[in-house]
Structure 1
Amino acid sequence: MDEKGYSVQIAPAADDLDRIRIKEQEVESKDRKYGHYHSGSIWAPDRPTVLYVDTVPIGLAITEMTERVMVRYFDGEYHREDSRLIRSAKPWQLTHSWTREQDVPCGRFRVIAYSPKKGVDWSVSWQETELEAIGALIPKIVETLKSAKGTVQRLMDAEDVAAAKRKKEREEEWERYLQQEDARKVAQALADSQQQLAEIIERWGKAMTVERFFVDAEERLNTTDDVDRRKRLEERLALARAMLESVDPLDFIESWRAPQERYQAKFD
């Protein structure tokens, strides 16, 4: 590609381009048996390698493929069952060995071209075989990448439109959520205010019942002829009154919080 005048480089971080997940199996399978406990990961660079056809970025990757073979555990390691080491081992040496299937590097390579732009699903790959090396495919790869510019550009433009639509939908959805949350908080403030007012009125009603008790007691006290008893009861009434809260309704309403004091609506 360099010889044809195209720029191939590590994608700058500011370009926000992604490397797709590369499938390493030569023959794709439903399962994967690579690495210890079949959970090994294939190494990948931090940022993709990209080819620019004019202004259109095309991601490039090359991976050594894996093939599924039978391996045997022998002398502390796994070896291919068809390897010279295993074939030359004596039967008694293999007494305590065992076999299993494993995906292992096969020495053949695959080249993958793809769109590194988020949301654009486009890729094409070439892989060498035992009869055809990857070098023989290079002219075909170059021509395919040169002619892919129009297709990839259309897909990128379509993704830009779709992304703008998704962004607008998210913003509208967020606006609806804010309005719903605002209405919920307004309703909650009203309910809390009504509840507090009802509790205040109930407390005032109880306080007035107690006040009537004291008024009646004081009236009865004034009719008592026993001076010592009256003096003793006056002191007790004074002590009891000192323990009670005010019965002035203005004192009660002063602690009440109106709905607007609890929450100010942000939407009409």
Structure 2
Amino acid sequence: MFGVEEHFRKTRDVKDGEFLRPYKRILPDLISSEAALLRALSIANDLYLALHKQGYRVHIAQAADDLHRIHIKEQEVERKDRKYGRYHSGSIWAPDRPTVFYIDTVPIGLALTEMTERVSMRYLNGEYHREDSRLIRSAKPWQLTHSWTTDQDMPSGRFRVVVYSPKGGVDWSVSWQDTEQETLGKLIPRIVETVKGVKDNLQRLMTAADEAEAKRKKEREEEWERYLRQEDARKTAQALADSREQLAEIIDRWGRAMTVERFFADAEERLKSTDDERRQRLEERLSLARAMMESVDPLDFIESWVAPEERHRSKYI
């Protein structure tokens, strides 16, 4: 916790009374307004020390641990709608990595959030202010002529501790919060005793989650294998069809070439019976015309053919 307060106070611009949004993203999982920050740090420190005394080292999870922070509900009384912030801004700062501790090999996430309460806010001189604030209560009636009110969820100064499983696929959490009867600080011994008894249950949930993930992974691999086989069969069939089509085109071209060849053979035969002058002139033209035509050797045609296996070699057949 050393130096944490300084980092939390280095925040992006926030409206008076709203949650801090520090620039640093690797911090203890602690959500608070500026007014309640010292109390938040005190509660977190007491809770971390109480867990440490039981042998549980509270720390920020490493990126390689593959642990995830759950969504932490900030409303003190859960409602169907959510109206956080002066301008209904839904963004509340959260750290990039969860704060965790381990009971043997079982990871447990730990979050502390200041709760919000639904309050009436009055718009005055370009800003929203709490209806019960000194500024609004001291305003003259004529100053409020062109103002209006709206409901907002604003930090209340009261806190909630959420203990949860940061393991993917494990849906488990429990929370404690400030009440009129007990403050959160007095609940710390109860929180510690509760988490000491959840290891076996969480271990079962984690094992079930791992088995479910292994089953899903196997199903994905089998589905991918089926896809590869189907794609291989499609490519094999396509290669066979393309080769047949190409062979048919080659035979057709050879047939046309043979028709041309018969034409030249007949022309050469007829030249033998023409007079010398005409034969000399036509022989030259016949040579030029023959030079323009392709080979009629079937082996030359078949040499350009691509067999199905040359187009695609199946991995499965």
| Bin of the TM-score, shorter chain as denominator length | over 0.9
Over the matched positions of the two proteins, sequence identity in percent amounts to 77
Aligned residues: 267
Which residue pairs with 2:38 in the alignment?
Answer: none
- Say whether 1:196 aligns with 2:266: no
- Say whether 1:229 aligns with 2:278: yes
Alignment partner of 1:216 out of 237, 248, 266? 266
- Say whether 1:255 aligns with 2:304: yes
Q: Deviations over 1:44-89 (max 9, x none)?
A: 1121111222322111101011122221222232111222211211
Residue 36 of structure 1 and its aligned partner are, at CA, apart by 6.4
Residue 30 of structure 1 and its aligned partner are, at CA, apart by 2.5
SS at match of 1:159: helix
- Say whether 1:65 aligns with 2:65: no
Q: Distance in 2 between matches of 1:107 and 1:6?
A: 28
What is the identity, as a one-letter code, of the residue corresponding to 1:243? M
Which residue pairs with 1:126 in the alignment?
Answer: 176
CA contact (8 A) 2:250 2:302 kept: yes
Residue 131 of structure 1 and its aligned partner are, at CA, apart by 4.1
SS at match of 2:203: helix
Q: Deviations over 1:14-50 (max 9, x none)?
A: 2221111111111222332224653432111121111
Q: Distance in 2 between matches of 1:96 and 1:202?
A: 89
Q: Deviations over 1:231-262 (max 9, x none)?
A: 22211111111111111111111011111111
Q: Deviations over 1:184-224 (max 9, x none)?
A: 11111111111111111111111112112222222222222
Residue 126 of structure 1 and its aligned partner are, at CA, apart by 1.2
Which residue pairs with 1:141 in the alignment?
Answer: 191
SS at match of 1:29: coil
> Which stretches in structure 1 are left out of the alignment for 5+ residues?
none
Which residue pairs with 1:239 in the alignment?
Answer: 288
Q: Which has the larger displacement, 42-51 or 116-125? A: 42-51
CA contact (8 A) 2:86 2:152 kept: no
**Distance 1:147-1:207 versus aligned 2 partners, 3 A rule:** same
Which residue pairs with 2:152 in the alignment?
Answer: 102
Query: Where in structure 1 do 4 or more consecutive aligned residues deviate above 6 Å?
Result: none
Q: Distance in 2 between matches of 1:206 and 1:101?
A: 87
Alignment partner of 1:165 out of 206, 215, 226? 215
> Which stretches in structure 2 are left out of the alignment for 5+ residues?
1-50
- Say whether 1:54 aligns with 2:116: no
CA RMSD of aligned residues (A): 1.7
